[in-house]
Structure 1
Amino acid sequence: MKEEYVSALWEGNKLADDRKRSIAEILEMLTGISSASFYQRNLRMNQVDFCTLLLEESDRSLSVYDSRITAIGPYIGDLNDGTMFNLSGQLKTCANDYIKREIGYETNLPYKSGNAEVYLNRNWESGKVEPEMPDSLDLGFPDASDALSHALTRAPYLRVFVAGGSLILSAPLNRLPIALIISRSRILFVPTSFTESTRAAI
């Protein structure tokens, strides 16, 4: 199914209608989301729609940070994400305690997750490459590899903690190896869930 689905996405608007309907029906069998929803979206289900539609009949939505956690109503982002809404305060408290007590780093600056100012000012396309075609839609990606490489060179004792898992829709496990193009001996890679990875880090 994977090869057939990728092939269909690659064909785009050239995909035959009967094949598009057939693949939409298979996706419905795999996910429980109606084939009509997949068909209307040209077989491309974005994260927000997936989190909303999967539990739509029970008027609940999935958390993108830990899909075991749900919230009432359609998914609208961090404002009603079950993980952020129920656990963000505890996670920030634990992170601040870990930085100061365990690591011993003294600062008056608090750890802020989901910092709006940082989010809006960050260059989310720092990893953007020159498109092969002039009309390509290439949104790029955030790239901190140069800064990380420089930090690892200057501080041999520095270690990198990377966590991801099958329950995290915002950072799927199969995407993480792409980001790990640095010495594996300097990286602790923990394939786990959001809440488990947080607990392991603390």
Structure 2
Amino acid sequence: MIRKENAMGMTYRTARAIAFASLALAAISAAHAEPASFPVITHHEGVFNGEAVRYRALVEETVIPNADGNPAFSFVTTAYIGEDAGERSARPVVFLFNGGPTVPASWLHMGAFGPRRILPPARPADPVNDPGAMADNPHTVLDVADLVFIDPPGTGFSRILDETSTPEIQSVPGDARAASDFVIAWLQAHDRMDAPVFLIGESYGTIRAAAMTGLLHEQVNLEGVVLFGQALNMVETTQRARNALSYATNLSALAAIAAYHGQADMDGLTLEAFIDEAEAFAMHEYLLALVAGNTLDDDEARLIADRLERYTGISAAYYLANRLVISKPDFRRELLRDEGLILGVYDARYAGPAPEPGNPPSDPFGAVAAMVPVALQTHQREFLGLNRPFEEYSFRGPSSAGWDWGRTGGMTGGPFADYQHDIWIEQAMDANPRFRLMVGTGIYDTTTTIGPARYLAAQAGYPRERITLREYEGGHMAYTNEEALIAFTRDVRSFLTAH
């Protein structure tokens, strides 16, 4: 047998050995667990995309060993598996995870792809009167795929079993390796190694998904990855001082937000056309002006500032006083300052009272975010039949302040010095002609914005036709807007069934 090794140094033989060891350890763990702990299996029926589906919900524990074969990580995951799926080998298995990097998959679970979901108010201006409001979710993709929600160790009920393994998992490669080991173990335990496999990651989870792609594309039948709120090109997403490109790529998001709040001059354009026009200006005249810096003459600076005022609602005088730039945090403070309001970080459709001087701001989106823990607790108890104390469920794992961002393109120094996380996507594209990428972004998100996502696709080292690029009318978790949820799940369904 030829011994293959991929970019992260994980061999096929090693992966299989780890997976088999994991299964054995999981069996031992289950044998010594408290009665009625894991697994917990319940059976359900639902209608998804107009199709009646019988499925089972499975909450189970999988233990992953370290290199010495000792238990290192416990993954407690929730899966929804179709029971009338016909040929199981042809039915996709989708593994989903959020970001943080140390948060559980609760948002994707209770906001977008679980069989039940939170029910936020239809309009961002409306209050959250019922924090526990939930509804059936007919939009999820259970009609075409099985879903496995991954809570990384240290989050949810998942745990780090060996404290000496903590530094390893608090890194891009270590986190991805543990999650990839889990994927292989789960597929083997459920006799699904031949199934098409897809990953859906959100926020930091998009970096995890890219790194897992580098590990898994030669080990399993990995056919595609969905990046939602992508963070792969972090230099363009965040705004480092004097990084002209980052201010240009983010301008289209500011224009969309200003348009939503009635502060932009759209000149009769549709929202989509207005965003496209703002981006074209940003990546041409505006970028050239920023690069010119203090060599730009006053008349040219005034013309650029006037255009910026039209697109963003921030006065030309502000731009002229600030080297033609505004940061995203300053934009959230400035746009509705005259009304005493500040915009949300994760969803700038939401506005709330600006804090008093010296006080930290509270995110106006916070009331919607608070719905997720309430809904998940009810869902675990009443729908999944889980009797584990909810106080043990961690919505925030160990601090990520010391997170090791590792090496990707050969440089060191953290994500801002070395950010080519899409190199692993490129490897999968080269190795598998069926492999595809979908990138989705909320146009009112100020954390992972639409411009850098477009730039990522434009700069990709693989054919553009293998990338599905989508934008939704919402924020970082755009699916809290039901219209965006319908569009997002429709696009994911098409992505899963395209072959």
TM-score by length of 1: 0.64
Q: Which residue of 2 aligns with 1:80?
A: 362
Aligned CA distance change for structure 1 residues 31 and 21 (closer, same or farther; 3 Å): same
CA distance in 2, matches of 1:77, 1:165: 28
**What displacement does 1:81 show?**
1.5
Aligned CA distance change for structure 1 residues 50 and 19 (closer, same or farther; 3 Å): same
Q: Which residue of 2 aligns with 1:60?
A: 341
The letter for the 1-side match of 2:310 is: M
**Structure holding more strand per residue:** 2
Aligned CA distance change for structure 1 residues 167 and 7 (closer, same or farther; 3 Å): same
The runs of 5 or more residues in structure 2 that have no matched partner are: 1-280, 428-436, 490-499
Residue 29 in structure 1 maps to residue 310 in structure 2: yes
CA distance in 2, matches of 1:51, 1:43: 17
CA distance in 2, matches of 1:57, 1:91: 32
- Checking the alignment, whether the CA contact within 8 Å between 1:96 and 1:111 is kept in structure 2 is no
Find the partner of 1:110 among 394, 417, 420.
Answer: 394
Identity %: 21
- Checking the alignment, whether the CA contact within 8 Å between 2:426 and 2:461 is kept in structure 1 is no
* Residues 50-106 of structure 1 deviation map (CA, whole Å, 9 limit, x = unaligned): 1111111111111121111001116999841111x222221344567789978x9x9
Residue 40 in structure 1 maps to residue 40 in structure 2: no
- Checking the alignment, whether the CA contact within 8 Å between 1:56 and 1:74 is kept in structure 2 is no
**What displacement does 1:141 show?**
6.1
Residue 5 in structure 1 maps to residue 286 in structure 2: yes
CA distance in 1, matches of 2:471, 2:394: 27
- Checking the alignment, whether the CA contact within 8 Å between 1:164 and 1:176 is kept in structure 2 is yes
Aligned CA distance change for structure 1 residues 127 and 86 (closer, same or farther; 3 Å): farther
TM-score by length of 2: 0.29
* Higher Rg: 2
Residue 71 in structure 1 maps to residue 348 in structure 2: no
The letter for the 1-side match of 2:298 is: D
- Checking the alignment, whether the CA contact within 8 Å between 1:161 and 1:189 is kept in structure 2 is yes
The runs of 5 or more residues in structure 1 that have no matched partner are: 132-137, 151-159
Q: Which has the higher contact order (CA 8 A, sep 6+)?
A: 2
Aligned CA distance change for structure 1 residues 25 and 128 (closer, same or farther; 3 Å): farther
* Residues 16-38 of structure 1 deviation map (CA, whole Å, 9 limit, x = unaligned): 12211221122122222111211
- Checking the alignment, whether the CA contact within 8 Å between 2:341 and 2:353 is kept in structure 1 is yes
Q: Which residue of 2 aligns with 1:176?
A: 453
- After TM superposition, the structure 1 stretch with the greater mean CA deviation from structure 2, 86-95 or 121-130, is 121-130
CA distance in 2, matches of 1:74, 1:64: 14
- Checking the alignment, whether the CA contact within 8 Å between 1:124 and 1:140 is kept in structure 2 is no
Over aligned residue pairs, what C-alpha RMSD do you find? 4.8
Aligned CA distance change for structure 1 residues 188 and 19 (closer, same or farther; 3 Å): closer
**Structure holding more helix per residue:** 1
Aligned CA distance change for structure 1 residues 127 and 38 (closer, same or farther; 3 Å): farther
**What displacement does 1:130 show?**
5.3
Q: Which residue of 2 aligns with 1:153?
A: none
CA distance in 2, matches of 1:99, 1:182: 42
